[in-house]
Structure 1
């Protein structure tokens, strides 16, 4: 069994999960003296590997509620264990800064939006946490469909254990009038979205993967039942909902 990157050395807990003193000090330096309601509700479930939808208003501590337990679950020396997808580059940079405040070397931003550059970036990254934009997720599908894409996908799925969609309602389409479509038409529209196709490929079960079932974590201030149905259609399963 591989060792975790972080091992608790005392009974100190935060949000129901054990924290070593060094990490607890970093959490407190971020201004988190005690867990906020959404953190108390979600952290232990994320730490246990449960697929979960975290629905809470902006500024309520959502990012810490999933990133802290995910960092605690990382295995030493294993690349690309967590893929965090966000709507924009600005949010990607903010997420990276948040992770670096907890664990300076744990995360990197994926580079490029063109398939060739994105493929190279994936191959070169050994960090356990990758942060990508929705646009990169859509382009990833082109990488997976191109020549050699099966090997790229196999390499990703071999170590990927958690997929996070932060502001998931902004990542999953269709946009515009998509919300007015009936369910059958919306499902057909969803099937054509490259980001939805990439998600489906990433979470498919693989017997040769280190983790045969990928943990899904959704986080949003405006997570709707429609988006939850979209995700269930795309990946073929549902995530429990957690609210403060």
Structure 2
């Protein structure tokens, strides 16, 4: 299938050609035609599947057909993180700049001053890409109105709910006109996500793309047994031995990100932490330096697991295994992008061995545990147990309810 066969305008086809997009991905093939026809769409596909173009192209075609000159916001794209907001905004802007009719795209997120963002809304805007909290801030300051929105996109809806945006999302939806088109994209569909889709969408076309339908990704997956106290030494050894120019390392907490980055710097590597408590200026600078290869290592929490598109990133390391088995796929998806080969390496300690087995089972993997000479593991794994809360299961998400899970359950029961 080709882009012309999807019903896109000549202007958008020219823009795609100039940007080097030759053929649509499965999610684009399934989602674009019904979206162009004005239908609601429920799209499910994993990271790196091309979801952004799947909603950006219909969005821009709808705006090109509009005759409005007063520039009320007509399209709203809601995303869970600052980095994803920036990335989505860049994609839409890159397409829009090749179109004959000017489209103003505004990107908003917290962590930076709201005043420049309010100034940028003078004269109106056509497309808003925003995180929920900052979007509501702008509405509260009377800098933005949402009563003319004709197209709503929810991107990475599962991640948005995982981060606790359910209340803010409900507030935003209440500000939108009831008659609108909705495009809803999510990598996974938990009961909470499905419930939101059921209330939001009307006669939606469901488009599901499983891993077998996606474009092949060349990611070599490896796992190394190592004792917990020796992980940083092993990481430094592997980076230097293999001469990895850039390595993205995932850890469980912001505290771990700071500590591991500091230890790597003391070991002679250029490294920086990356987590949600950093200022937006610092986060942006870290990513800029990393992409420009001025940094060898970024040590990040799962805030970097989605929305980051770093061209040619050779290695991702799970220093701590992800709490959610689904996040394993999102983490390793930061490498092996755009047809480039990648390596995903996981450190497996004795206490996390049961969780590693679950990650393999849920993701249908068979990865042999290796040992690195000089770093052979001495710790003994706890005995296996089928009990969900047995020691050594790593606090598996979905098995033991978190505080958020308990609050949602209480809200659903009316307590």
User: Which TM-score applies when normalising by structure 2?
Assistant: 0.42
Q: Secondary structure at the match of 1:156?
A: coil
- Match for 1:108 among 106, 109, 127? 106
**Superimposed CA distance per residue, residues 111-136 of structure 1 (whole angstroms, 9 cap, x where no aligned partner):** 66799859945852522111111332
Alignment match, 2:122: 124
Query: Which whole-Å CA distance do the structure 2 matches of 1:239 and 1:160 have between them?
Result: 19
Query: Which whole-Å CA distance do the structure 2 matches of 1:18 and 1:236 have between them?
Result: 23
Q: Bigger CA drift: 132-141 or 25-34? A: 132-141
Q: How has the CA–CA distance of structure 1 residues 172 and 14 changed in structure 2, closer, same or farther, with 3 Å as cutoff?
A: farther
Q: Counting helix residues as a fraction of each chain, which structure ranks higher?
A: 1
Contact 2:80 2:163 in 1 (8 A): no
Query: Which whole-Å CA distance do the structure 2 matches of 1:63 and 1:19 have between them?
Result: 18
Query: Which whole-Å CA distance do the structure 2 matches of 1:127 and 1:140 have between them?
Result: 13
Alignment match, 2:206: 241
- Match for 1:229 among 190, 195, 199? 195
Contact 1:53 1:241 in 2 (8 A): yes
Q: How has the CA–CA distance of structure 1 residues 64 and 115 changed in structure 2, closer, same or farther, with 3 Å as cutoff?
A: same
Q: Secondary structure at the match of 1:32?
A: coil
Deviation at 1:87, TM superposition (A): 1.1
Pair 1:197 & 2:161 matched: no
Query: Which whole-Å CA distance do the structure 1 matches of 2:59 and 2:191 have between them?
Result: 25
Contact 2:82 2:109 in 1 (8 A): no
Contact 1:118 1:140 in 2 (8 A): no
Q: Secondary structure at the match of 1:18?
A: coil
Pair 1:161 & 2:150 matched: yes
Alignment match, 1:98: 91
Deviation at 1:139, TM superposition (A): 3.7
1:39-54 equivalences in 2 (<5 Å): 39-54=28-43
Larger radius of gyration: 2
Q: Bigger CA drift: 159-168 or 109-118? A: 109-118
Q: How has the CA–CA distance of structure 1 residues 119 and 231 changed in structure 2, closer, same or farther, with 3 Å as cutoff?
A: farther
Higher relative contact order (CA 8 A, sep 6+): 1
Q: Which runs of 5+ in 1 are unaligned?
A: 1-11, 176-188, 206-212
Q: How has the CA–CA distance of structure 1 residues 44 and 236 changed in structure 2, closer, same or farther, with 3 Å as cutoff?
A: closer
Deviation at 1:173, TM superposition (A): 5.5
Query: Which whole-Å CA distance do the structure 2 matches of 1:27 and 1:225 have between them?
Result: 36
Q: How has the CA–CA distance of structure 1 residues 215 and 237 changed in structure 2, closer, same or farther, with 3 Å as cutoff?
A: same
Size of the aligned set, in residue pairs, is 199
1:56-71 equivalences in 2 (<5 Å): 56-71=45-60
Q: How has the CA–CA distance of structure 1 residues 172 and 139 changed in structure 2, closer, same or farther, with 3 Å as cutoff?
A: farther
Alignment match, 2:132: 134
Q: CA RMSD in A?
A: 3.3
Query: Which whole-Å CA distance do the structure 2 matches of 1:34 and 1:66 have between them?
Result: 16
**Superimposed CA distance per residue, residues 39-66 of structure 1 (whole angstroms, 9 cap, x where no aligned partner):** 1111011111211111111111111111
Query: Which whole-Å CA distance do the structure 1 matches of 2:113 and 2:37 have between them?
Result: 34
Query: Which whole-Å CA distance do the structure 1 matches of 2:33 and 2:201 have between them?
Result: 24
Contact 1:115 1:139 in 2 (8 A): no
- Match for 1:29 among 7, 18, 41? 18
Q: How has the CA–CA distance of structure 1 residues 67 and 87 changed in structure 2, closer, same or farther, with 3 Å as cutoff?
A: same
Q: How has the CA–CA distance of structure 1 residues 92 and 173 changed in structure 2, closer, same or farther, with 3 Å as cutoff?
A: same
Query: Which whole-Å CA distance do the structure 2 matches of 1:115 and 1:138 have between them?
Result: 14
Contact 2:110 2:131 in 1 (8 A): no
